[in-house]
Homo-oligomer: A and B are copies of this chain.
Amino acid sequence: MFVKIDLTSDVPIYLQIKNAIIEGIARGELKEGDSLPPIRQLAEDIGVNMHTINKAYNLLKDLGFITINKKYGAVISVEGFNETFMENLKEELRPIIAEAFVKGIDKETFLKLVEGILDEFGGSKNE
């Protein structure tokens, strides 16, 4: 499985798992309709507790990236963005951009950085 956990990170484990799955979708390694592993199995695979996986899956459900049911388990099913998402996105980005701006990173450099990350995902769309 693609999820690697850094126990020394200050990012909580359940958020690392959430991020890894979203980035897996972004890179095309997980596609609409794919099932995620059962919570107990993924928990054992990466050496964390079942409830930590459960928390990550429920967050992914609330964020609109998967659906969960007892037939098929956790299945990738992405809801498109809406106005609320765009507003939250802006509020998340603002402090990060402010830090970079104050540190002296110019507009062009910052936009190149963002483009670089976007290309990690969009570059190989069909594989």
How many of A's residues come within 8 Å of B, CB to CB? 41
For A89-125 the 0/1 string (1 means CB < 8 A from B) is 1101111111111111101001101110110111000
User: How many copies of this chain are found per oligomer?
Assistant: 2
> Of A63, A111, A117, which is in contact with the most chain B CB atoms at under 10 Å from its CB?
A117
Which of the residues B19, B23, B86, B98 comes within 8 Å of A26, measured between beta carbons? Answer: B98
Q: What's the dominant secondary structure at chain A's contact region? A: helix
Mind listing 22 A-B residue pairs with CB under 8 Å?
Answer: A19-B94, A19-B95, A19-B98, A22-B102, A25-B98, A26-B101, A63-B99, A78-B102, A78-B103, A78-B104, A80-B104, A81-B104, A86-B113, A89-B113, A90-B117, A92-B96, A94-B117, A97-B114, A97-B117, A98-B121, A110-B114, A110-B118
